[in-house]
Amino acid sequence: MHKLYLSTAIAIVSFTTACASDTTQVKLKPLQPEEHHQIAFQTSLQFVASYHYAKPTINDSFSTRAFDEYIQNLDPSRVYFLDSDLRNFEQYRYQIDDYVFNGNVEPAFTIFNTYQQRLNDRIQYSLAYLNKGIAFNRTDSFQVDRERAQWCRNVNELNALWEQKLTYECLLLKVNGKDTNSTETIKKRYLNLLKFAGKTKSEDVFQLYMNAILETTDPHTNYFSPRTAEDFNQSMSLSLEGIGAQLQTENEYTKIREIIKGGPADKSKKLFAGDKIIGVAQGKDSDVVNVVDWRIDDVVSLIRGKKGTSVRLQIIPASEPNTTKYIDLVRDKIMLEDQSAKSAVKTIDVDGKKVTLGVITLPTFYIDFAAQQRGDRNYKSTTRDVKKLIEELKSSKVDGIVIDLRNNGGGSLQEAIELTGLFMSTGPVVQVRNADGTVSVKNDYDKDIFYNGPLTVLVNRFSASASEIFAAAIQDYGRGVVLGERTFGKGTVQNMVDLNEFIQYNGKKLGQVKLTIAKFYRITGGSTQHKGVTPDIEFPSIYAADKFGEDASKYALPWDSIPSATYATSLNVSSNLLNQLKVKHKQRMQASAEYGYLLEDIALFEKADNEQYVTLNEGKLQTETNQEADAKKAREQQRKKNNKEGVDLILEESAWVIRQLN
């Protein structure tokens, strides 16, 4: 699930700035491919064609998908290229597959250099337009979602579009009262964009191009330039210091893709998936640097810092797209200890009776391989830690145990298998189908059942990979009840390939390819890929499936099935009991005020997500923003009055299920 998103492109320019007049003298510096790019291009595509799980055919169909993806990654909001540019680029649509034979990557740079020229033109036009002053009494609207908009036919149309865009950007700051001189702030945004644009290298262009090509095979197959590969390997060691959030690019914004359990962002309870980062400051007293339109790795560089230092983020909340907020966080390391399983005893009132739960929260499936290999008898692992926690919970005489896998993005496959074994006797847990078609069944061989009492598993949209394997096994064996939202749907296996291990070229580092080589299947035969795991007791999610999860990629590998493994179901949760629970759950939710609030939240997110146009009239936008703020405040007050603010509805329903299982 931990995919690196590097789809924002930036032009490279050399420039000098005369601050007094805010004019920028720009000398374009077109980029050219480096000699080793030819070898990296050919070798990467050969690996994909030969070893990728789907064995994609490198043909004209493959070429046209890669072409469209590259254009989309360069200009996702269609605010730089002209229609005439696209017509000119069409000559390359069916040529990318042919260029594999001779390693020709020139088209990538030809297209990028055109983009570079257009970006520079737009920045110059923006600075000139902002110098004239912005009128905030317009009667038109700006189309904020332009992914499927028409390309502008000429410069006049592009100018008109950018006048709307600049007005919207200034208005968003002005209406929220965060900026007394929004025009100057937006000017700084574009000057900073120009400054960081100058840092782009040919290696960055090549990586962008390669990812446009490789990600058409599936969203988890990526190319890592030498620099990015080093960053990725470092991040996998859990030693990076930052805020604990995975980022991705959406149009011109850097968006929160996932909050990492145990990190500063998670502990703050102020930053959520879907929020957009538009500014970063080093502490409370430093100026906020606007990062709209920035490369994602440059944004990460600003956010990352030494443990104990503070960073201020300016964000657009996902639930309030017409507002901006500031969030202060203190950077910290997310170490193995922060990701360890933790338990708590919670007593919840269910229909007038107390139910005592033993809740085990599992942020990831981990194992300290280094300690295990050096013979440390006390090495940490998910299964070993959870066994200790279960022993403690047994002594507390809990009515049942809850395994909370919400926001658990996966980790060690073996730990998912062994953890499943704590709750069942020996048997298959997951099946793995390799690229060559062979299927291996992964079993738990421990006959002992460590805990046989009432069990529930909690999942959400960000439960993925190993989490889905565990939840699916518990569900298929009828060992417990799964509650929550449909999971992520990441049912594929990747392997990192260092290109230099297979080919050497003048001492140059060629980068790495992360390649999808296998798929996971449930013991029933159905894949966890794409569909994920549908809970027995399902709750709707505020995160749209087509925006978060495997559904978000049009190139995700499809769901399919293989023959079932041989296994015997448990007697803990029968299909008849499950059907009864589902009927009663629906009745309970109809009478639940908190469930009504959840549906309201979902409606607000859907409204924000589907918003196509925003008014450019200050008075009208201010009224709309105030009305939304007043409605939110009134609802929060009502929830406080009901003493239900912040209630964990899914955990409460889990307590009800535990009571039914006893």
Query: What is the structure's pLDDT at 474?
Result: 97
Each domain of the chain, given as residue ranges in start order, spans: 13-217, 240-333, 342-593+651-661
Provide the strand spans (E) within 1-50. Answer: 13-18, 23-28
* First-last CA distance in the chain: 36
Tell me how far apart the 2 most distant CA atoms of the chain are, in Å. 78
Of 435, 548, 412, 497, the residue nearest 214 (C-alpha)? 497
DSSP characters over 280-320: EESSSSSPPEE-TT--HHHHHHHH---TT-EEEEEEE-TT-
Residue 440: how many CA atoms within 13 Å on its side-chain side? 8
Question: What span, in angstroms and rounded, lies between the C-alpha atoms of 216 and 258?
Answer: 22
From its phi and psi, is residue 331 left (phi > 0), alpha (psi between -120 and 50) or beta?
Answer: beta
Helices 155-175 and 182-197 cross at an angle (nearest 10°) of: 120
Question: What span, in angstroms and rounded, lies between the C-alpha atoms of 366 and 410?
Answer: 9
Q: Which residues are catalytic?
A: 465, 476, 490
How far does Cα 374 stand from its chain's mean position? Answer: 35
DSSP characters over 77-127: TS-S-BHHHHHHHGGGTTTHHHHTTTT--HHHHHHHHHHHHHHHHHHHHHH
Using an 8 Å Cβ cutoff, are 278 and 314 in contact? yes
pLDDT, block means (10 residues), the chain with 662 residues: 32 34 56 93 94 95 96 94 97 95 94 93 94 92 92 97 95 77 87 78 93 95 82 47 75 78 80 86 80 77 82 84 82 68 94 94 86 78 94 96 94 94 95 96 94 96 95 97 96 92 87 94 97 96 86 93 93 90 95 90 86 92 88 83 76 96 91
496 CB-near residues (< 8 Å, 6+ apart) = 512, 513, 514, 515
254 CB-near residues (< 8 Å, 6+ apart) = 8, 247, 248, 276, 277, 291, 294, 296, 299
DSSP summary character for residue 215 = T
- 72, two tokens: 């989309």
Domain spanning 240-333: CATH 2.30.42.10? yes
| Measured CA angle at 615 (ends 610, 616), to 5 deg | 140
Query: What is the structure's pLDDT at 158?
Result: 97
Query: What is the structure's pLDDT at 534?
Result: 97
**The model's pTM:** 0.84
Q: Which three-class secondary structure state does DSSP give residue 208?
A: helix
DSSP characters over 599-641: HHHHHHHHHHHH--EEEEEHHHHHHHHHHHHHHHHHHHHHHHH
Question: What span, in angstroms and rounded, lies between the C-alpha atoms of 494 and 230?
Answer: 18
Q: Could you tell me the sign of the dihedral formed by the alpha carbons of 582, 586, 592, 597, in that order?
A: positive
Q: Which three-class secondary structure state does DSSP give residue 334?
A: coil
- Residue 413 corresponds to which amino acid? L
Domain spanning 342-593+651-661: CATH 3.90.226.10? yes
280 CB-near residues (< 8 Å, 6+ apart) = 288, 289, 291, 299, 302, 303, 311, 312, 313, 314
Residue 243: how many CA atoms within 13 Å on its side-chain side? 28
- 71, two tokens: 């254009």
